[in-house]
Amino acid sequence: MAMAVQIRRYGGPEVMEIVDLPVGDPGAGEVRIRHAAIGLNFIDVYQRTGLYAHPLPLVLGMEGAGVIEAVGPGVDHLAPGDRAAYASNPPGSYSQARVMPARCVVRLPDEIAFDTAAGMMLKGLTVQYLLKKTQPQGGLQPGDAIVWHAAAGGVGLIACQWARAMGLQLIATAGSDEKCALALEHGAVHAINYRRENFVDRVRAITGGAGVKVVYDSVGKDTFDGSLDVLQPFGLLASFGNASGPVPPFAPGMLGPKGSLYLTRATLFTHLATRESTQAMADDLFAVVRSGAVKIRIDQRYPLSEVGRAHEALEARSTTGSSVLLP
């Protein structure tokens, strides 16, 4: 048996229950991992509320790091005793131990601590596929300006650093002066406090009216229209989250008069469809972290038993950097 956080209905933080569940042995293509640290992400909130629906009951959580206890037939890239980490479907990381598909579990380098890994796998791989694979027409070159919303969160602070390493001019938005300062400290060249400044006007002023090639937006409803308005002709809006709520339906024809814009609703798990692609992306992430170009900032640590408090802080947007749960 292992302690886990399960929901039986959708709703607020109060629907999460601490339960003991059997773990079992891995089958073909599976591993059993005992978690040392668990990542906290906004996708967990979407799943808890039912915005991203799953069959119930459901153990939440998409990210973790720990030690492999057992491997099933056909698994040859991991062995019992290996340090490992993952960001993967199906949910289930809010637990002391779990059995899961081995495809998206990778061996963790010794230099990277478990809590660092749990705070960076989903977030870091998200930044990797966005900056490296979700690019505007013609790609991104050093000196190009981009906008990144919610830039002081776990994903955003990794993005600020990785964009700086790529030579990009990242314009950050965040909800307080303190968060803006954090984004600037981590590599953003400009930071806009959206609670007291109009980010559209500020981006236009910063770029001399030219706009930016791409906006990376995990906020959703509150920033969608403005994000389209700061793009250059043929620019790309990469939507990858709904922290403020889902974007309402709109007519695609509106993209034409705004400059023949491109729009994508990107998701990490399309990129993690094979073990080979997962390993290649993880290797890129591990390399940039080991080089020191990207440092993983973990500002909140909660016992797994206090997961309700962790979700309340995340939804209130009162967190910075990454948050981890400790089983």
Q: For every one of its 327 residues, what pLDDT tens digit does the chain have, with 9 covering 90 and above?
A: 999 999 999 999 999 999 999 999 999 999 999 999 999 999 999 999 999 999 999 999 999 999 999 999 999 999 999 999 999 999 999 999 999 999 999 999 999 999 999 999 999 999 999 999 999 999 999 999 999 999 999 899 999 999 999 999 999 999 999 999 999 999 999 999 999 999 999 999 999 999 999 999 999 999 999 999 999 999 999 999 988 888 999 999 999 999 999 999 989 999 999 999 999 999 999 999 999 999 999 999 999 999 999 999 999 988 888 999 999
Asked if residue 27 belongs to a domain, the reply is: yes
Cis amide prior to 136 (ω within 30 degrees): no
Same-domain check for residues 140 and 242 = yes
Same-domain check for residues 77 and 172 = no
Residue 74 has what pLDDT? 97
Asked if residue 221 belongs to a domain, the reply is: yes
Asked if residue 284 belongs to a domain, the reply is: no
112 DSSP assignment: S
Q: Say whether 282 sits in a helix, a strand or coil.
A: helix
Same-domain check for residues 312 and 255 = no
Of the three residues 265, 280, 309, the one that is the final residue of a domain is 265
Asked if residue 277 belongs to a domain, the reply is: no
Same-domain check for residues 19 and 58 = yes
**Token pair of 246, please?**
């889902």
Helices vs. strands in the chain: H and E counts, helices first: 10, 16
pTM of this prediction? 0.93
Asked if residue 210 belongs to a domain, the reply is: yes
Residue 310 has what pLDDT? 97
The Cα-based distances of 288 to 55, 125, 294 in angstroms read 37, 11, 6
Of the three residues 224, 243, 265, the one that is the final residue of a domain is 265
Report which residue type is found at 327: P
Same-domain check for residues 42 and 157 = no
* R_g of the chain, CA atoms, integer Å: 20
Same-domain check for residues 57 and 164 = no
Report which residue type is found at 197: E
Asked if residue 191 belongs to a domain, the reply is: yes
CATH of the domain at 118: 3.90.180.10
Same-domain check for residues 83 and 162 = no
Same-domain check for residues 51 and 145 = no
Same-domain check for residues 168 and 115 = no
Domain hosting 33: range is: 2-122+296-326
Asked if residue 127 belongs to a domain, the reply is: no
Asked if residue 287 belongs to a domain, the reply is: no
CATH of the domain at 146: 3.40.50.720
Residue 321 has what pLDDT? 84
Same-domain check for residues 65 and 180 = no
Residue 245 has what pLDDT? 86
Same-domain check for residues 107 and 13 = yes
Residue 262 has what pLDDT? 98
Q: What gap in Å lies between CA 47 and CA 280, rounded to an integer?
A: 27
**Token pair of 201, please?**
């006007």
Same-domain check for residues 48 and 93 = yes
Overall domain count for the chain: 2
